[in-house]
């Protein structure tokens, strides 16, 4: 019998520790989600409406914020619903969809960061070729290609997971994660192909990280020789590095906890580690770029002053 027809629902047991404080957690989570939507949508609207910001770096920043909205939309609405529910159930296919959205958000984030690193490398290390290499059309193609390939790679992982015969409907998380579903397989031998493809996927995005580091090594070497480039580095590259650092730390913390973490850790701490990458980077990134990039600062200031004047 196909086990997909047997297990039609999953129980998210990660919510067991939230019952006594669920109303407080609901309002805090709702506030957090509203802030994420506000800051990301604001930055997207500012970039779209201001033609002076229709440059490669700002187009990529716009895509970055869109990806944050996409990823958090796959988590927060369902999470808020579960906080107020007495039974924490999610359908089998709903679980796979959430898995697809959250994983493609994570991998897409790293892909976009890699494109942004390349953009800064060309801008600082090859400034004379910048406009010919990083045209608006090419940047949009880069962004679309990086996100589409990410979506397809994650879809392969999710498809392989959907073929497994599962023996338990209990997921000890707040949301659906591919590795947690794979661990429910009745026969470990069935998961070999899943492990191989998962390791290939990790290797692909590890190479993204290597590329980002390589780009910044050249950028730093170039900036040391020029005061002008040093100023450009501080203005445009520091926000990117801060975004990269917060995102990588959040992801690695969750990955280490999921694969190697001790079950002796309090469930509350495990839950916080699990959702950290869906909370901190989507809030911090727009604020970092908004405060650091001069053109966006001026645009926000002009809008604010105009509103106050009216």
State residue 15's pLDDT score: 78
**How many other C-beta atoms can be found within 10 angstroms of the C-beta atom of residue 2?**
7
Contact 238, 294 (CB under 8 A): no
Rounded CA gap, 119 and 139, in Å? Answer: 9
Rounded CA gap, 153 and 166, in Å? Answer: 23
Contact 154, 107 (CB under 8 A): yes
Contact 103, 204 (CB under 8 A): no
State residue 309's pLDDT score: 43
**How many other C-beta atoms can be found within 10 angstroms of the C-beta atom of residue 126?**
14
pLDDT along the chain (310 residues), means of 10: 63 77 88 94 89 87 93 92 86 92 92 90 85 88 91 94 87 85 84 90 90 86 72 72 81 73 68 84 84 71 57
Contact 57, 123 (CB under 8 A): yes
SS3 content of the chain, % helix, strand, coil (to 5): 80, 5, 15
CB under 8 Å to 36, separation ≥6 — which residues?
68, 69, 72, 76, 279, 282, 283
* Domains observed in the chain: 9-302 (1.20.1070.10)
Contact 182, 163 (CB under 8 A): no
Beta strands 9-12 and 89-91, pairing class? antiparallel
CB under 8 Å to 7, separation ≥6 — which residues?
92, 166, 169
State residue 236's pLDDT score: 67
- Report CA 164 to chain centroid distance, whole Å: 26
* Inter-residue long-range contacts of 187-196, CB under 8 Å, 24+ positions, other chains counted: 190/164, 190/165, 191/164, 193/160, 194/157, 194/160, 194/161, 194/164
Which spans in 74-226 are helix H? Answer: 76-84, 92-125, 130-133, 136-162, 178-182, 192-224
Please state, in angstroms and as integers, the Cα–Cα distance from residue 308 to each residue in 40, 246, 305, following that order.
22, 34, 5
260 sits in which H/E element:
helix 238-260
State residue 160's pLDDT score: 92
Strand partners, 91: 9
**How many other C-beta atoms can be found within 10 angstroms of the C-beta atom of residue 51?**
7
Q: Which two tokens stand for residue 143?
A: 């962004």
Contact 41, 69 (CB under 8 A): yes
Indicate the pTM of the whole model: 0.86
Contact 99, 16 (CB under 8 A): no
């Amino acid at each position: 019998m196909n086990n997909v027809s047997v297990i039609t629902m999953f129980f998210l047991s990660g919510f067991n520790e939230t019952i006594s404080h669920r109303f407080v957690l609901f309002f805090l989570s709702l506030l957090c989600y509203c802030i994420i939507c506000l800051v990301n949508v604001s930055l997207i609207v500012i970039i779209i409406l201001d033609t002076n910001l229709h440059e490669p770096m700002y187009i990529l920043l716009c895509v970055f914020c869109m990806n944050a909205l996409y990823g958090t939309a796959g988590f927060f609405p369902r999470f808020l619903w579960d906080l107020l529910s007495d039974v924490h159930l999610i359908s089998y296919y709903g679980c796979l969809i959430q898995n697809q959205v959250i994983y493609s958000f994570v991998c897409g984030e790293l892909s976009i960061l890699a494109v942004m690193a390349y953009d800064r490398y060309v801008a600082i290390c090859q400034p004379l070729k910048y406009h010919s290499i990083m045209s608006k059309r090419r940047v949009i193609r880069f962004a679309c290609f990086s996100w589409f390939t990410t979506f397809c790679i994650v879809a392969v992982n999710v498809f392989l997971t959907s073929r497994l015969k599962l023996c338990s409907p209990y997921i000890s998380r707040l949301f659906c994660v591919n590795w947690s579903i794979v661990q429910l397989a009745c026969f470990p031998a069935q998961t070999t192909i899943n492990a191989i493809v998962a390791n290939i996927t990790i290797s692909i995005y590890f190479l993204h990280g290597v590329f980002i580091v390589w780009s910044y090594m050249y950028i730093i070497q170039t900036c040391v020789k020029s005061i002008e480039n040093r100023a450009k580095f501080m203005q445009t590259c520091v926000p990117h590095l801060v975004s990269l650092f917060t995102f990588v730390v959040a992801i690695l913390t969750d990955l280490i906890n999921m694969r190697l973490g001790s079950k002796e850790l309090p469930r509350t701490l495990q839950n916080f580690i699990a959702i950290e990458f869906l909370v901190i980077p989507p809030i911090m990134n727009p604020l970092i770029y908004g405060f650091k990039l001069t053109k966006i600062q001026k645009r926000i200031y002009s809008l604010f002053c105009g509103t106050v004047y009216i």
